[in-house]
Structure 1
């Protein structure tokens, strides 16, 4: 007898407050809010150090040279990074007629597969609604297969009955984590885990184990369930591609906006300092310099926030099928 299949009953969800906070930073949170927190945090640290006397911002300090040379070149570098990101996004968007036609055919084939199994004339265009259709169909198919097995002249093993209940619970859990018109990142967050892969392996195990002794039609139902789980895997990768491309496109635009603001801040703070004096009272310099640092750090904070989410999504979705890397591996 083969080992008992490991069936996931629910999608991965952040449990503790610390896990939810970490999830907000690396994935779920608005990237502008995360970047804003980083920029404000850096500005606050600078202000605290100035107030404590650890940093000097007076007329005789090196603030003018710092803002006038080093930080200016850093801002310009970020603007060139924005141009490079734009070129990367455009390289993925453009394509020949043949390439675009193949992409369209692949999307249509996925939708037709799900529509056929679900028994609906068409599938939703909204990503959350489409994934919800897969989840509810998976639940109905698993429950229907369990009912078929119970009603036939066949006593299904407890292992099979439990696995089918867990598959139905997985579909319910996936559907509960989806709401109509959810953003692409929110939808992707519901399927970032590897539960689908574990269930694909479990369904294949059960089909191969009991197909010979099961009533007619059970094997076909298992194939339908396996195709639904494969549709989750394909949708997962497709949504990842869309989410990362949209994030990169948004990042390049926001880097331009914040980069120009940072450049103005660099010029303004530099012009405040004159040889041996400043144009503003000394008491206001800590606030001015801290605010200037915050404005200059903002483009870098945006870059960190968006790349952090892209790297997290890419790491979690590196595998397409049932081969799942260790979560703790390098």
Structure 2
């Protein structure tokens, strides 16, 4: 039985008047992976894993496939390598692909860097907007806004947690039992989610995916919707004090949305620049390997075998795996960026995934 199912059964046992659909509506899992129903392996490969390491694993996979396949089809491959210059053709093509890929990545870097350039007026407007947002956040939290991105997001999450605790206490004596039950379920879910996200954010440094991953775990949009729904559904049973807490909670959650989007934008720029740097670093050894095999080795120059596998297969497999690394690194980075972008297309209480409809 899943964690969420167990929590729902426990809630219904404690509150027999609460309908099962209401419980499922209000509560959500504490992590993005559980809400999306993804496996740990897929989440690690697409999002959590180090991008260089993931690219290395894909390179090893290519190497293994080449060795395995070449062992069975070696006789045909040897004939082609000796008569049709297959090896030279493959690696000369890889040289062209590497140069084209580096040019493309440099273009991406120029686009990213150009976003940071602009006249003085634009820079002043950016600064003013940033400071206005920080001042408004200070009014909500009552303390100076942290400069560290992870602590900034953590402060907003903990502030919404405090409002949730106050909300639960404010309806504890309400006459409407359904209101008490739904608010209790909603605030318990919010507090658990806030604790999980805040713990993951604590001490994290910007530049790694861990900061954004923790922020993505906090599904603020769903919580804003629940606040609006509860206020509308139980308007006659909510006191003025409780309504004020609802408004404060909604404002704190609403501030988290643009803050997370801003951090996400900065992270995307950071990742694209890191991608450009790493591809440039990998392109040099890839070019050397491809050029050396094309110029000096070829198919007919490799004879003998090692560990029961022809040396021609070892050379081709390892050479192709190394020369593919820049492209594989591009795949690993784009997979993460595209997945994050798809899961954060909407800002505010718009639910695009089936998991929370």
Pick from 318, 330, 336 the counterpart of residue 291 of structure 1.
318
Q: Which moved more, 1:299-308 or 1:220-229?
A: 220-229
What is the count of residue pairs matched by the alignment? 321
2:158 equivalent to 1:139 = no
Structure-2 separation of matches of 1:174 and 1:18: 18
**1:269 CA displacement:** 0.5
Q: Name 2:172's counterpart in structure 1.
A: 150
What aligned pairs does 1:1-330 form with structure 2 within 5 A after superposition? Answer: 6-14=25-33, 19-54=39-74, 56-57=77-78, 58-60=81-83, 62-67=85-90, 69-120=92-143, 122-150=144-172, 154-155=174-175, 157-158=179-180, 159-183=182-206, 184-192=208-216, 195-211=219-235, 213-273=237-297, 277-278=300-301, 280-283=302-305, 284-327=311-354
TM-score calculated relative to the size of structure 1: 0.86
Specify whether residues 17 and 315 from structure 1 end up closer, same or farther in structure 2 by C-alpha distance, changes over 3 A only: closer
Q: Following the alignment from structure 1 to structure 2, what is the Cα–Cα distance between the partners of residues 165 and 67?
A: 59
Q: Which runs of 5+ in 1 are unaligned?
A: none
Give runs of ≥4 in structure 1 deviating > 6 Å. none
Deviations 1:67-112 (A, max 9, x none): 4532221111111111111122112221222322333333333333
Tell whether the 8 Å contact from 1:10 to 1:173 is kept in structure 2 after alignment.
no
Tell me what 2:308 maps to. Answer: none
Contact 1:12–1:193 (8 Å) recurs in 2: yes
Show structure 2 runs of 5+ residues with no match.
Answer: 1-20, 306-310
Equivalent in the alignment of 2:6: none
Contact 1:10 1:174 in 2 (8 A): no
Between 141-150 and 315-324, report the one with greater CA deviation: 141-150
How high is the TM-score relative to the length of structure 2? 0.80
Matched residue SS, 1:324: coil
Across the aligned residues of Structure 1 and Structure 2, the Cα RMSD in angstroms comes to: 2.8
> Counting helix residues as a fraction of each chain, which structure ranks higher?
2
Moved more, 23-32 or 227-236: 227-236
